[in-house]
Structure 1
Amino acid sequence: MPEGHTLHRLARRHRALFGGRPVAVSSPQGRFAAGAAAVDGMVLKKAEAHGKHLFHHYAPDRIVHVHLGLYGTFEEAPHPVQEPRGQVRMRMVGETAYADLRGATACELLSTAEVRAIRARLGPDPLRRDADPEKAWVRISRSKAPIATLLMDQSVVAGVGNVYRAETLFRHRLDPQMPGSALAREQWDALWADLVALMRDGVRRGRIDTVEKEHDPRLQGRPARKDRHGGEVYVYRRAGLPCLVCGTPIAHTEHAGRNLFWCPTCQPEYR
């Protein structure tokens, strides 16, 4: 599933391509036909993201909400506009380019109140200027759930997915199974600051890079990582491979239905 930086990149891209101008919106597939007709030809006033949710604001009660889920994608192309290929849920056509949405979990027309209700259920997003990390800290500090669970709970922190979870816990040498209530305030402050920095870098690069310069593959004499997620990472999807810091094989287990990766040496068991 795309992590928060991907949605913020999309919002930024859509502002550049379509913002401030009328947009032709349609639903070649038909599943979003009524919603598309309601905003077709209107000016896109704002595109923003909160966590893994994307919002296109056309008018106070005409906001298109998109959640990509596991399989959703936006594909862009310059004019001329081509005939739709496959199941296109929503097509946006601007002055110079168009974008097709496929496979999204949600694509719906909402009111301002409905968008406000979605955002109220979400935790602070490290990529938003209005984020309040104190809100997340209150939830974490009072919970006995593992920190690995809490970081993936979108009502606690919005936008963090499996990659950012695994990598930030490694970078701060935290046991994924450590209870949230055992986390010190200074540890949380450092973790939040790191999420902000890493995710902002993800928005700029379009990939997730988490390794420090001294662990760059070119300096360590090892091949660069090849993965559809891109970027150089410490533990994510590196099960059985040596830790880039200490050489211990990276461990892997299933945690709450998702894959969890960590280094047993660098992230010693919490006691």
Structure 2
Amino acid sequence: MAEPVLYVIATPIGNLGDLSARAVSLLGEVDLIAAEDTRHTGRLLAYFNIKSTLISVHDHNEVARAEMIIDQLSQGKRVALVSDAGTPLISDPGYALVRRVREAGYQVSPVPGCCAFVAALSAAGLPSDRFMFIGFLPARRQARLKSLEELVGQSCTLVFYESTHRILDSLQDMIEVFGPAREAVVARELTKTFETFRQGALAELLAWMQADSNQQKGEFVVLVRGAEPVVPDDESVDPRSEAVLRLLADELPPKKAAALAAQITGVHKKRLYELLLQRS
């Protein structure tokens, strides 16, 4: 009898030919498949003529399902966890389940495969030796701006996921925080019929997308080049401090904005005030 295992299986992000032979074999052998959306996964299984039992595991039932899956493992059964597309747990449910299964003493084994952000990074032509995966930004604009402000000084490549409904808003906010000239790549509909990579300054990418509504559809990975390293000197203001100053200056008179920004960032208020005057 096989040992009880929870397999975390990556599935295609578009092209069904990307499902590995090992993944196909295991999905057909396990006693139970835990899927984010059973209808979506059901179509994948039908394509490969896999008839294993399906149950749903999503954000709203993950904790309860974990107990059910542990019970199955306690009976010596094998279970597979899949998401709608790509590698489970990457901007998808599954963390609570995997942790609970490990705490219960059962083996969790990955079956590697597709991951949208890794695929995008491999073909984008931006530095890939150091990167930070952010995933989806907050839906509300103020929270989104705050998240971007926290990243403005990062020197590594930044990787985001975005949806059709918010791609234009997110690009506009990136321009506000990172500046219109920051280099970026938009990767759209990876491995699908209309796969698109577009490289350019953030402002150029936004204009390109606004001019063609077809480019606004689908699933997106947005990769933003990291900030240039700051060379400290008495006159320089680091990107994060400058971004804080800019936001405050939108709401306050220059002197008040400079004084408050100085308290937040530690940069001398005179230097910040001079910077505002230079840009007025």
Alignment TM-score, normalising by the size of structure 2: 0.24
Alignment TM-score, normalising by the size of structure 1: 0.25
The higher radius of gyration belongs to 2
**Which structure shows the higher helix fraction?**
2
